[in-house]
A = this chain, B = another copy of it.
Amino acid sequence: MKAEIIAVGTEILLGEIVNTDAKFLSEELAALGISTYYQTVVGDNKERLLDAFRSGFERSDIIITSGGLGPTDDDITKETGAEYFGKELVLDENSYNRIESYFKGRKMAKTNIKQAYVPVGGKVLDNDNGTAPGIIIEENGKMLIMLPGPPNELVPMFNNSVKPYLEGREKQVIISRTLRLTGIGESNAAEAVRDIMAKGTNPTVAPYAKEDGVLLRITAKGEGKEQCLKMIEPVADEIYGRLGGFIYGEDDTTLAGAVVELLKEKGLSLATAESLTGGMLASAIVDIAGVSKVFKEGFVAYTNESKMKTLGVSSRTIQYYGAVSAETAAEMAKGAAVKAGADVGISTTGIAGGGAVANPTVDDTSYDKPVGRVYIGIYCKGKTFTKELNIKGSRQKVRSRTVSSLLDFLRVTLKGL
């Protein structure tokens, strides 16, 4: 089966947003064995969208649209899709009730009723994260799947409703297993598996650089998931043999998730002390469901005052070594653990740039330190470990890279226990 993806939205043609929906959908379709031959973006314009449907269905069996299902007048995807298939729009009771209940408490705008109208005979896809339902129209071997634009609505709707609907329509499926690495660069990871990458057309191995590390994706095409996984397994084993130390998880595992699992295994509780990351570290950990078993407490000690008062960092350490120093990081980590009564404490202090000096209130040596200089600390069972990082890039990048580096530092330290 051939598919194409049509994003509807003038804001994309004005360059106001990136079309991430197309990436997600193409990736998912490939996994279902469905080839995407075209991605198109058209504005909120009925004639141009109709043209796109016509030329799209001349060359493809499936069209998936994203966007244009909103409540306003310039949201025209559903109306245009219905017109293309010559369908009337009728009120869908369930959608109406779902939308109304979505507004419980708040006032529902009249225009939202528009979203409860669906083409006759269309399959309605409930939206758990917004008002607009998705719709599938299938007729004479042509399938139009209309999804809402916001990724936080489109992604769950695809996974919950569209994927099951499309699954099994292709005998040949494409299955991937993604190994998640950290602490190694893309080129070095690729170098280490170059021969495997060169050899394989099925399965294939492809490296991707991500914010928090590198992915090695092993992809096999075969008849059914089982067969694909069998083809993938020996390749994965070979890569584990070479790079196992850098692999923290697979597929959707996050670095924070891997760390939380390790803490649970070891029966250890955690506390955080953050300066330049300002809560980003704790937030990444609290993002993991069921974290409450291991996460005790977090402190955002942005100022020297709070580093001393709340975490018990000695003023001498700050005066002598600076708030941005291995010594301060160590005392912050220990202070967090002690204060929270946790087994493990972890800390960040550094200079993110863009005005974010970790210790703005006391004039000290940190001002000599370069932007991107960061110290991370771990306190565990009476021992402290620290590391110096020098991160290039934006304020945002320095902070997020600090979080992933510390999570990996903790992961490796816990494995060593």
Chain A positions within 8 Å of B, measured between CB atoms, are 10-20, 22-30, 35-43, 48, 55, 70-74, 102, 104-107, 109-112, 128-129, 150, 152, 156, 174, 176, 185-188, 190-191, 197-198, 206-209, 211, 217, 219, 272, 274, 276-283, 285-287, 289-293, 295-303, 305-306, 310, 339-341, 354-357, 360-361, 390, 392-397, 399
Instruction: Indicate if the CB atoms of A23 and B30 lie closer than 8 Å.
Output: no
Of the residues B39, B279, B292, B299, contact of A12 by C-beta under 8 Å: B39
Cβ of A405 to closest chain B Cβ, rounded Å: 12
Complex CA distance for A207 and B71, rounded to whole angstroms: 11
Instruction: Indicate if the CB atoms of B297 and A302 lie closer than 8 Å.
Output: yes
Of the residues B70, B187, B297, contact of A186 by C-beta under 8 Å: B70
* 30 A–B contacts from the bound complex (CB under 8 Å): A14-B27, A15-B23, A15-B27, A18-B20, A18-B23, A19-B23, A37-B48, A39-B39, A71-B186, A72-B186, A72-B207, A73-B198, A74-B206, A128-B393, A129-B393, A152-B211, A152-B393, A272-B279, A278-B282, A279-B298, A287-B395, A289-B395, A290-B355, A292-B303, A295-B302, A296-B303, A296-B306, A297-B299, A297-B310, A300-B300
* A286-B292 in contact given A71-B186, A392-B129 (Cβ < 8 Å): no
Cβ of A397: which chain B residues have Cβ within 8 Å of it? 129, 152
Instruction: Indicate if the CB atoms of B297 and A306 lie closer than 8 Å.
Output: yes
Cβ of A39: which chain B residues have Cβ within 8 Å of it? 12-13, 19, 39-41
* A277-B283 in contact given A19-B18, A356-B292, A393-B152 (Cβ < 8 Å): yes
Cβ of A303: which chain B residues have Cβ within 8 Å of it? 292, 295-297
Majority SS at the chain A contact face: mixed
Instruction: Indicate if the CB atoms of B306 and A302 lie closer than 8 Å.
Output: no
Cβ of A55 to closest chain B Cβ, rounded Å: 7
Instruction: Indicate if the CB atoms of B185 and A109 lie closer than 8 Å.
Output: yes
